[in-house]
Structure formats: C-alpha cells, structure tokens
Structure 1
Amino acid sequence: MTDYRGLTWDHPRGTVALNTAAGRFSREAHGDTLAWDGQPLEGFESHPIGDLCARYDLVVLDHPHLGDALAADALRPLDDLFPGDVLDEWRASAVGASAASYTARGRLWAAPLDAATQVSACHRESVPEPPRTWDEALRTARRVPFALSLAGPHALLTFFSLCQGLGEAARTTGDGPLVSRATGVAALEMMRDAFAHCDPATARLNPIALLELLARGSLAYCPFVYGYVNYAAAPGNPVRFADVPRLTPGGPLGSTLGGTGLAVSRRAEVSDALKRHIAWLMSADAQRRFLPRHEGQPARREAWTDPEVDGSGGGFYSGTLATTEAAWVRPRHPGYTEFQTSASALIRESLEAGRAAAAAYDELEKAHRAAVRSTADVL
C-alpha cells in the first residue's frame, strides 16, 4: 500500500478533475491512495522544480521547468513506466506541441495533461467581434478598457508571442541573441504603443485576475493572455476567446505555449494501479468527457475538435485551436525559469518607466547573455 502525494496549481482548472479522479483512485486502488496539494499560479511558474520533486510523487509542471528538472535528475522518464506504443499514441493525439514540449533527449518526461497558449480574450458585450489584426486591436484599445498580460513572467511571454507574430521565434539555446535587434525592438515598440492604452494597475495582475476583470466587464479586451475555458463556459459566457490578432497581413499567429504536463518524480515507487490511473487521465475518454465535466482543459486533439466539448466550453476550443496548433515552445535549458522572471520584470518596468524600445532591448539582451553564460543547455 502506498500513499501518493501530488502537487498541482491552485485553480479549478488544475484541481477539480485531479482531486475528483484521485478520490476514485483511492477507493478503487486496493490500498493505494492519492491526494493532491495546490500551489498558487506564481509558484507553478517559478518555484524550483527540484525542490518540488523531492517532496511529491506526481508534479504538474510547465515545460520550461524541464531543463532544471533534468539537471537535478528529478524526474522519471515515462518510457520507464509505459510501453512505447502508449507514449506514441499520447504524442500523436496531443494538440499542437503539447507533447513535444515535454520531450527531451528523445524521451517523454511528462504526460501532456492540459493544453493552453496565449490567445485573445474579450468581454462579449463590449467587444462583440474579436480583433483579427494588430491595427484592429489598437483601435479597440482606444475605445474600451484594455490590458496587456505583463505580471510575473508574462511580459516576456507576450514579447515572445509578438516576436513570433513578426515572423521570428526567439532562440531556445544560448547560441546568439535571444532575438534579432530589429524584431526585438519592433516587438517592444508594439508593447509600448499598446501599454499607453492600459490601466497601469493591470500590469501587476496575473492572467487569472485579468480574466476575472473580463468576466465582470470592468476589462473589455486583452490581445495576448493564457486561455482558460472556465471563463468561456461560465453561465452567460461573459468571456469570449479567439485566435490572437495577426501582426502583419497573412502573417503567423504568434503565441507562446503554456499548458501543463503530469510528471513522475524520482522519489515515487510507482505501482501498477498508479500507472493505470495516469494512463486513464491521458485516455480519449477522460480527456473528452471527464476533464471537461470537471473544469479541466484537455490536451488531446479529439477533445478540442469535439462539438459537444466545444459547445459546453462556449466555443473556446474552436475559437483558439489555430493559435494553439501554431504555438511556440519556450526555452527549456537549466536556469531558464529564473531568466524568464527577471527578463519579464525588466520589460514590465521599462514600459512603466516609458523607456525607449531600443534601450529596453539592449537591457534584455544583456540579461540573456548573462543567463546563458551561467548555464549549459542539457537538452
């Protein structure tokens, strides 16, 4: 008999389905039990992953943690626990790069449990039609309450999405600049232009807080924010999610992948019952039926393209699928999450201080060079 403990993030999307499933597991696993703790979103984004894996058997993590986790030898590769054909099926069924983001050294280190990326969000009554271009987004920002997602690591993630939308992905290793000067300055200038229309108080609000404002109608539009189906599925569907605006005619849908993976720590002695439980959470049945009915946001493409799931989610999945499929995978080298936090603060503070985009780019690139010099890319 084993008492397993897991750690997820403290939001209904991260807790309700896992807790409900854990209750069933504990009743049916013939002596094994599973209980989940929750940590705030800020901890999920930045808490040292090695510390968490030393204390928990299962950890719901973000793919940029992978470099630190491998450097600390904190995770069990899933091919040690599941047959290759099972992992291949998970990879093939995952929406966008959800599975690829947890793959390194040719092995899968976390099961793609939940898929999300930066998308656009608006209050349905204030903005009946989501802007499809950046020019439309700025015009909308001039007439309704508007925000950029800038708190915690999100200023950098919004910057990455804009760079991607301009046609250049940021580098995922330390070889060269984070992004070219021309693209980086252009993206920062776009953020500066948009920030001029923001309530400054929103710069310190995480995506959940921004979406709460949208649901209440005190905020009307955010062009890049991580999507939460919970807000589109709420009674009255106050929040509508859509693909991000294109920055250039016919240009790419620039977005930075989020979502969560379910990882097994080195400390866990994994029973057959726990393997079956993890495999069930990743199954088409659980992802299409159980997770959506318990406030989860699945990662399987069958769920995202299921009309019933989409309908109960207020059109969230069909409205954001194209952006999710195109989303970019962040760097995953050791030390990246620390850089993500500090670089985001640099961008946010440069916007608040009104510094020139070129000067902000120089500061960002200096921070990037310092970060990559202090670590090696293990992926």
Structure 2
Amino acid sequence: MVCKKGDTMDRLSPFTQPSTQHFLHRFPAPFDPAQFPPPVSVQVHDVDASKALEERVELTARERRPLMAGEVRVGMLAMTINPADLLQLDGRYGVRPKLPYVPGHEGVGVVLQTADDVPDLSPGHLVLSNGRWSDELVVGHRHLERIDDAADVLQSAMLRANPPTAWLLLKHIVSLPAGGCVVQNAANSAVGQCVRQLAALGGVRVINIVRRADAVDARTLGDEHWIVDEGMDAPTLSAQVKRLAGQHPRPLAIDAIGGEATGKLAACVDDGGTVVVYGLMSGAPAAVDLHELVFRDVRVRGFWLARWFSDPVQLGQVKAAYTELVALMKAGTLRIDIEAIYPLASVHEALAHAARPGRTGKVLLTGAWFDRLLQAPRENPDN
C-alpha cells in the first residue's frame, strides 16, 4: 500500500510511537524461513539514464542462505531514497558499483536471526543498516548499529545520511564564531531541514535560500530568515543576505546545487569565508567569479559523507554525532518531513516520485517485514 502526505497515517502509528519496543512480541522466535516467501530485492542492471527505469531496475526474488559466523539476518522495515541513490542509478555518483547491484544507502530493520557467535544482537532488536533496497539483508554484525527499541522507525530510516551531513557541515567545516550566521540554499531539502533544526539548538542564525515561494516553511525554528531566489544575480542576493545578517559574521555558506548557485553563495560570505558544496542538484560545474577567490580569499570546498566513513579519525566524529542525533530524534527535536511511502513492489513509481521537482519531504520504501509486523498481533505489549 502506498501512503502519501495527506493520506491517513493511522496504520503507521505502531511505527511512530514507543510501542516499537515490542517488536519482539510481533513475530515467532526462533525465525523459521519456511514460514515466509523468499525475500525480494531491487536490482539495477543498467545506469544509462537515457533508458526508462523499467528497463534498468527490476525486482528479483532470491533464496535465503544459512548464516555464517558473525552474520545477522535483518528484516528491512524502511529504506530511504536519497539524491545519492538517484545519481548512482544514472552513473553520476562518486562510486559506481559493479552491475548488477542492489541500491540503497540507509535504512532501519529488525533482527530476525543471528549466528551463534554474535554477542550483542538478538531477534527483535532495531538496527540501522546500509539500507540496501531488499526485504531482508544478511550482514556482518559489526556493520549494524543497534538503536533504541522505542525509536521512531520512519525517522530512524533517514538517520544515517542527512542528519550527520548537516551536523558535520555546521561543526567541522569552519569554526563558527559566537553570533555567527550560516547561509544555505535548498533550505527545504532534508539536509536543509536538519541544518535549520541543529542551528536553532546552537543559537546560530540561518539565512535560508529557496527557489519557490511555496518552499518557505511556515514554521520558525530559531533565528532564521528566508530569501526566495527566482533568478537574482549574485550582487542582488548578496545584498539581501548582508541586510538579513546584520552585524553577524558570515563565515560559512552551504551549497546543495552547484553551478551558478555556488558563485552566488561565494558572494554572500565574508572575506575569507567558505562555501562548502555537498550536492549536485544542478548537474553543472561550480561557477565562481575569480574576484571572490583572488581578492576576497573565499574558499570553495566539497563535502562527501562517504569520505568521513572511510577515514578512521573522521569516522569517530561521525559516531559521536550519531549519539546526539539519536537522542534528538527520540526527543522529537530532530525530524525530517516524509512525503510518501511505497512498498518495494512500487519501486519504479517511488523513484519517479523521488526525482520529481518541488517535493516537500522524503520518499521511503518499505520491505515485506514492515507490513508483516504492522499486521501481526502482539502477545503482551506490557511485557
């Protein structure tokens, strides 16, 4: 069943309330593979963007294999469709997996079964995984991160990419001075939402730039201001940013778009300021006026979360961030808007929706275990 913003979400309430801690009572243990059909995965066979998605992406059923030492079988509940996934599908991402491959970078699941030597996980535990788009995953237990069983499942599915990206952009690119101001474009994106919420907690002024008036959020999350850029040139945008920033220093601008947008942000920061580019929404090379680089010493650099995961020192910073991000999510302080939820069987429709301009929230996929546990009776929810 497809669930979209505006539809009734009543059927999802067990997955957005503390009752998620009772997953252990929702399916028989030990896990018996004979009781369930083979799991289905999404397979990408071609990254030629000129071809229709239906020609390049298909669903494939596969037989379960026995667990090896150190492995865990996870029933996937919810998985996120991120811009990185769409870029990878079109062969434009920083990593090009060998074909065919199962896409996906983040998701949340429930432990179904563990190898005898896995000490720290048991059936019923909620875990963050690499989020491959599949009903079930078999992965080494060291690649899973257990989360609070009372966590919001749908929000947890979006925890591994956008929130830590926002966290690191705010805390580890430049040293923000007291009273500092951050400028960001694509402020209605998932990373943009997280930047706004985290900046509000830290008392940082944020100037949000969007391209449509209807993308301005009616909610005020902190010391924030909005600019609707419907085709301004760099001097005009810079003048508006300076007016809204007032006496606050502007050491950092965050760019999700690239192309001319990078140059516009370069004009908005102080001398010696930094523009960090983390997205490729325009698909165009960053274009920056040499005046900004030579005479104002503006720095332009990139950010890719995958690099932080591959560096041992930076990985420690990411893990430290997760601890606080999980707590903020559990408290309801950090949330990402969801526009639609699709089952894996509707992956083509889900991908088309995720690529649609003007979205106001994330598009999620659900695995077979989402509906199985949603429909299963709990034996005793108070135990």
Same fold (TM over 0.5): no
Give the number of the structure whose residues are more often strand, by fraction.
Answer: 2
Higher relative contact order (CA 8 A, sep 6+): 1
What is the TM-score with the length of structure 2 in the denominator?
0.31
Give the number of the structure whose residues are more often helix, by fraction.
Answer: 1
What is the TM-score with the length of structure 1 in the denominator?
0.31
Q: Which structure has the larger Rg?
A: 2
